[in-house]
Structure 1
Amino acid sequence: MAFTSIGVTTSGHVATIEIQRPPNNFFDITLIEEIATAFETADADPAIRALVLAAQGKAFCAGADFARRDVGEERPGRHLYKEAIRLFRTGKPIVAAVQGPAIGGGLGLACMADFRVTCAEGRFSANFTRLGFHPGFGLTATLPRLVGQQQAALLFYTGRRINGEEAVRLGLADQLVPLAEVRDAAMALATEIAQSSPLGVAATRQTLRRGLADAVEQATERELVEQDWLRKTADFKEGIKATAERRLPEFQGR
């Protein structure tokens, strides 16, 4: 199919799916649908054994572009999350090339992958509480799986932004390379995976990720309930406004 927000290329047994919404690569349902469709197409191709998820521009994915929306409008979040579940049901290993910010839902997209290659310039943040919001994109299931419950709670409650070096130290990312080498290093890792037995890798991956997609689906149902009411609060409006104005929010707890 023709894509409008991504590009797909193949090299040997590896397919690269590139987000093409520079510089920030904000996501919406269209982008998630296209990535999911590209993943499913690769799943159906026995010649493809591993995937690289990469992005043009300065950011891997800076999350949702709240600044361009009326913060009070109803958004198709439920449908977006349903599309996101398709990503977690992908059968082939995914390496994310995180060359810049992976923020909010963008962090969720990065955590969906099996591995993350990044650089010192990489930025990782579950910034939802700084927006007066609740985590989404299944992060309440995936982030603790990667860094542990305690570190995940710390990242969620503070909304702090960490660099690539800290992400590797915490186990949020797997490999640190210079900025110019992120894409190549991700491709090298995917190629190394593709050199292993495809049946063996697939079977092992199914065991390791057993129940993950279901856990994410259950988590997103809870996340949606919390996001729905928080979206209507004054704190959420203040969080969005403060972010747009590049200042600390002044939350009132209402």
Structure 2
Amino acid sequence: MSKDIDVSHAGHVATIEIRRPPLNFFDIVLIRDIADALDTIDADPSIRAVVLAAQGKAFCAGANFTAPPSGGFEERPRDTGHLYIEAVRIFRNKKPIVAAVQGAAIGGGLGLAMSADFRVTCPEARFSANFTKLGFHPGFGLTVTLPETIGKTKAALLFYTSRRVTGEEALAMGLADVLVPQDEVRAAAQKLAGEIAECSPLGLLSTRATVRDGLAERVRAATDHELAEQNRLRQTEDFKEGVKATAERRVADFKGR
């Protein structure tokens, strides 16, 4: 097993823990590891529900745009394409997932959180689709999952402003499903997963397949388009300025070119 994740079992619930603290930036390796773990869980009839959690202060702060060329997938467009192939594998998993969002879920990290069926969070958490503030285009299937979860208008608001919303705001708009104190997030996620796991495993698989029918294919089509737009915008001056401004914690001076 990769050192970047840990998989544990308690009763009929499996917990996948991301271990890249403090910010848990992702790359193709991490997303593939999560997809592989979910494939293994799907093949284990004793597991009926999954908790996706993370060490550190963030759930997942997305991709590290400020990493040197050897560091982050965002510097290598081909890797991004492969990463989205791995991401679609996550959406193809068969068993319910509860994400324990104890901190920031930013950019693609929000996309990862949205691959789950439910999100348990806390007031300190922050959710942001911050792509336009980077001069970029949303990815990780968010152009499908966010509108389907919170509605097109609210999703557009998050996309167009790149604003961060708190755990309370996320709960109010339907982005999160349970709000608890920060130190209780994982336990609450495991409690919800345990409640799910008390149900008939065959009934769960059948019902979830119906509820999420076609989702993976919609995400696959979306990521094809998202990737094309990301690769186009990656070449612009605005993208370079957006990344630089974010690293310097200042408002970007975009020129529209």
Q: TM-score, normalization: structure 2?
A: 0.97
In 1, the alpha carbon distance for the partners of 2:119 and 2:37 equals 19
Superposed counterparts of 1:64-75, under 5 Å:
64-70=63-69, 73-75=75-77
Superposed counterparts of 1:1-254, under 5 Å:
2-70=1-69, 73-75=75-77, 76-254=79-257
Alpha-carbon distance, 1:3 to partner? 1.4
In 2, the alpha carbon distance for the partners of 1:89 and 1:226 equals 24
Gaps of 5+ in 1: none
In 2, the alpha carbon distance for the partners of 1:147 and 1:9 equals 31
Matched AA of 1:55 = A
Q: How many residues align?
A: 253
Matched AA of 1:42 = I
In 1, the alpha carbon distance for the partners of 2:91 and 2:213 equals 11
Q: TM-score, normalization: structure 1?
A: 0.98
Q: Which runs of 4+ in 1 moved over 2 A?
A: 69-75
Residue by residue, what CA displacement relative to the aligned partner does 1:58-87 show, whole Å, maximum 9, x if unpaired? 000000001113499433100000000000
Matched AA of 1:53 = L
Query: Any idea what SS the aligned residue of 1:66 has?
Result: coil
Query: Any idea what SS the aligned residue of 1:204 has?
Result: helix
Gaps of 5+ in 2: none
| Deviates further, 72-81 or 143-152 | 72-81
Query: Any idea what SS the aligned residue of 2:113 has?
Result: helix
Identity %: 66
In 2, the alpha carbon distance for the partners of 1:237 and 1:69 equals 13
Coordinate RMSD, CA, aligned = 1.0
Residue by residue, what CA displacement relative to the aligned partner does 1:130-174 show, whole Å, maximum 9, x if unpaired? 000000000000000110000000000000000000000000000
Residue by residue, what CA displacement relative to the aligned partner does 1:80-116 show, whole Å, maximum 9, x if unpaired? 0000000000000000000000000000000000000
Query: Any idea what SS the aligned residue of 2:7 has?
Result: strand
In 1, the alpha carbon distance for the partners of 2:208 and 2:68 equals 39
In 1, the alpha carbon distance for the partners of 2:48 and 2:170 equals 27
In 2, the alpha carbon distance for the partners of 1:223 and 1:67 equals 20
